[in-house]
Amino acid sequence: MSGGGEEEGTTLEFTPTWVVSAVCTVIVGISLAAERLLHYAGKYLKKKNQKSLYEALLKVKEELMLLGFISLMMTVFQGRIVKICVPDDIMKHLLPCSLPSESSSNGEGSSPTSPEASAHHRRLLAEASAGLGYCIAKHKVPLLSLEALHHLHIFIFVLAIVHVTFSVLTVVFGGAQIRQWKRWEESVAKVNYDTQQVLMPRVTDVQQHDFIKKRFLGMGRHSALLSWVHSFLKQFYGSVTKLDYVALRLGFIMTHCRGSPKFNFHRYMIRALEDDFKKVVGISWYLWAFVVIFLLLNINGWHTYFWIAFFPFFLLLAVGTKLEHVIIQLAHEVAEKHVAIEGELVVQPSDNHFWFHRPHVVLFLIHFILFQNAFEIAFFFWIWAQYGFDSCIMGHVRYIVPRLIIGVFIQVVCSYSTLPLYALVTQMGTHFKKSIFDEHVQVGLVGWAQKVKKKRGLKAAALGGSAAQGDPSQGSSTSVKQMGQLGHNETTTLEAPPANNS
C-alpha cells in the first residue's frame, strides 16, 4: 500500500495475465488443500465414531465460513467505506497512537522527518492517488482509510485462526492428561467383584479414609481462609490424585447409576469433554463484542492491551481454585456428618457447590479465558508483523514481556491443570450429561421415545382427543417426555440409567 501512485492505480486491464493466473493458482490451491484436509479429517472422525469431535470440526468450518463472509463484506463494501467522509476534528480523539506532530512536541515520538513520519506521509499520498481524494475535495477525511481497513481485515483473520488453534491445543493436551487416568480406572476394574459384594454392608472409619486425610484433616480444616489457600496452591501440583479420582468416581456411580458399579467413568468423562469441545472452539457473539470493546479502549497512554492481559490470568486462577475447593467441600460434607459409615465412603454430588448452582458456568469461563488469551497473543503477533516491534501500539519492553509470560502461563496451566480438573469435578453436579450413554444407546432411546410419543398421539386422536382418567400409561408420560428431550438437552435427571460397562 505504500508504493507509488502507479502501483496503487494499476488495474487488471494493465496487469500481465501470467501474474493474475499465478496468483489465482496459488490462492485456489491453498484453499482447496485446506478444504480437502478438513474433509478427510471429518471422514477419519466419522470412521472412528468420534461424533462429538466431528461436530467440533463442523464448528470450525462454521467459524471459517463466518470469517470468509466477513472478508467478503469488507472487500465488497470497502469502496463505500472509504468514501464515508467526516470532519477532521473528530478523527483526532481516542487514537491508539499520538499524531506525529504531538509526539514531536512531547519529545516521545518520532520527528516529522523521521522514517515513521515519512512513511506516514507516503501512505497518505498513496491513498490519495488510489481515489481517496474524494473526501479531500470536500475538505474532510475518510472515516476509515483503505489501508486501515485492510489491516483490520488481517487482524480478524489472525484472531480467528489463533483462537481455533489454541483451543485445539488446549483440549488435545488436556485430553492427553485425562487419558493417563485410564490406568486408575483399570486398577479399580481389576478388583473382581460383583454387584452383591459391592452392596454388602461394612463399616468404614471416615477419619481414617485416605481421601478424607488428604482433603479434610490437613490444611484448612478449621479455617475457611486456609481452606481456600490450600485450594489455590493445590491446582499447581498434583491437582488431581488417584484418591480424588476414585472417591469422585464412586460418588458419581452411587448417585446416578447405582445398579452399574462397573460403569466406565473414565470413558464417560472423555465423551463429555468431547461434547464440551464443540462449545469451546467456537467464537460466540459475546466474544466478538469483547473484541469491539477492546478496540474501542485501545487508547494511547492507557496500555489497555497490557492491563487486560491480567483478566484471564486472575480468572483462570479463580476457576482452578474453585474446582479444587469443590473437592474439599465434598470431603468436608462427609467428614462433618459421619464418624463411621456402612459400606464405602461416598461423596454426594450437588450443584450447590458450584457458582450460581450451575456447573456449566465453569465451561463458559474456560471458553472466555481461552479466547482472551488467544486474543492477546494474536494482537501481539499482528502488531509485530504489521507495524514492527517498535510500533507505538506495541509499547515498551516492560509491557511486552509480562504479556507473553502470562500468555504462556495461561496456556500451560489451562491445558494440564484446569481442563482436567473441570472434566472431573463438573461431574459432581446434581445432573449427569447425556454422554453417560453410548452414541447408539442415545439414538435408540430417542427413537424409542419418539415412537411411543407418536403412538400415544395416535391413540389420543382415535379417542377424540379426550383424556381417559386413570389411564395406566399416564404414569410413563414423564419418562417419555424426558427421553424425547434427551437428544436436545445437555443434561437429564434419570435416576437409574441402564448398565454400561463399555
**pLDDT class for 326, splitting at 50, 70, 90?**
very high
Which has more pLDDT, 461 or 257? 257
Question: Distance between CA 146 and CA 30 in Å, rounded?
Answer: 26
Separation of alpha carbons 453 and 148, rounded Å: 58
Q: Which residue has the higher pLDDT, 37 or 68?
A: 37
Q: What is the number of H-type helices and E-type strands within the chain?
A: 22, 6
Instruction: Tell me the HSE value of 416 on the side-chain side, using a 13 A CA sphere.
Output: 9
Reported as a single tens digit per residue, the pLDDT across 164-201 is 888 888 888 888 888 889 888 888 877 645 555 555 55
For residue 203, which of 341, 345, 346, 335 has the smallest C-alpha distance? 341
Contacts of 153 (CB under 8 A, 6+ apart): 71, 74, 75
* Cα–Cα distance measured from residue 429 to residue 356, given in angstroms and rounded to the nearest whole number: 12
Q: How far apart are CA 25 and CA 21, in angstroms?
A: 6
Q: What is the pLDDT of residue 286?
A: 84
pLDDT > 70? residue 106: no
Torsions phi, psi of 340, nearest 5?
A: -145, 145
**Does residue 149 contact residue 127 with C-beta atoms inside 8 Å?**
no
Average pLDDT, the chain: 75
Residue-wise pLDDT for 226-246, tens only, equals 888 888 988 888 888 888 898
Res 75 pLDDT > 90? no
What is d(CA 422, CA 230) in angstroms, rounded to the nearest whole number? 18
Residues 416-441: tens digit of each pLDDT: 889 889 989 998 888 877 666 554 44
Q: Are 142 and 85 in contact (CB under 8 A)?
A: yes
Q: What confidence tens digit (pLDDT) does each residue in 111-168 have?
A: 444 454 455 445 544 544 444 577 788 788 888 878 888 888 888 888 888 888 888 8
For residues 79-85, average pLDDT: 81
474 dihedral zone (left: phi>0; alpha: psi -120 to 50; beta): alpha
* Phi-psi group of 301: left, alpha or beta (phi > 0 → left; psi -120 to 50 → alpha; rest → beta): left
Cβ-contact 132, 142 below 8 angstroms: yes
378-412 pLDDT tens trace: 888 888 888 887 777 777 777 788 888 998 999 89
Residue carrying the nine cell digits 377424540: 464
DSSP 499: P
The residues spanned by each domain of the chain are 1-48, 83-143, 159-436, 438-457+476-502
Give 164's contacts (C-beta < 8 A, 6+ positions apart).
60, 63, 281
Report residue 13's pLDDT band, with 50, 70 and 90 as the boundaries: confident
Q: Which of 204, 316, 259 is nearest to 494 (CA)?
A: 259
Q: How many whole angstroms separate alpha carbon 120 and alpha carbon 97? A: 12
Where in 108-161 does DSSP place strands (E)?
141-142
Shortest CA distance to 250 belongs to which of 192, 331, 316, 313? Answer: 331
- How far separated are the first and last CA of the chain, in Å rounded? 60
Residue 495 has pLDDT above 60, yes or no: no
Can you tell me the distance from the alpha carbon of 425 to that of 320, in angstroms, rounded to the nearest whole number? 11
The three grid cell numbers given for residue 145, joined into one nine-digit string: 482509510
| pLDDT value at residue 499 | 41
pLDDT tens by residue, 262-277 = 788 888 888 888 888 8
Rounded to whole angstroms, the Cα distance separating 313 from 409 reads 8
Kindly state the average pLDDT of the residues 287-307.
Answer: 82
Say if residues 146 and 80 touch (Cβ distance below 8 Å): no
User: Which of 66-75, 133-142, 210-219, 290-299 shows the lowest per-residue confidence on average (mean pLDDT)?
Assistant: 210-219
State the pLDDT at residue 77: 82
The reported pLDDT for the residue numbered 17 is 85
C-alpha cell at position 187 = 486398577
Residues 6+ apart with CB under 8 A from 484: 446, 449, 450, 453
pLDDT value, residue 437: 59
Of residues 457 and 108, more confidence is placed in 457
Residue 399 contacts residue 303 (beta carbons within 8 Å): yes
CA distance 451 to 250: 35
Contacts of 17 (CB under 8 A, 6+ apart): none
pTM score above 0.75:
no
Phi, psi of 86 (to 5 degrees): -135, 160
Residue 488 DSSP class:
T
DSSP string covering 381-432, please?
HHHHHHH-TT-TTT--HHHHHHHHHHHHHHHHHIIIIIHHHHHHHGGGSSSE
Mean pLDDT, residues 91-105 = 66
Task: Give the 3-state DSSP-derived string for 330-390, with helices as H, strands as E and coil as C.
Answer: HHHHHHHHCCEEECCCCCCCCHHHCHHHCCHHHHHHHHHHHHHHHHHHHHHHHHHHHHCCC
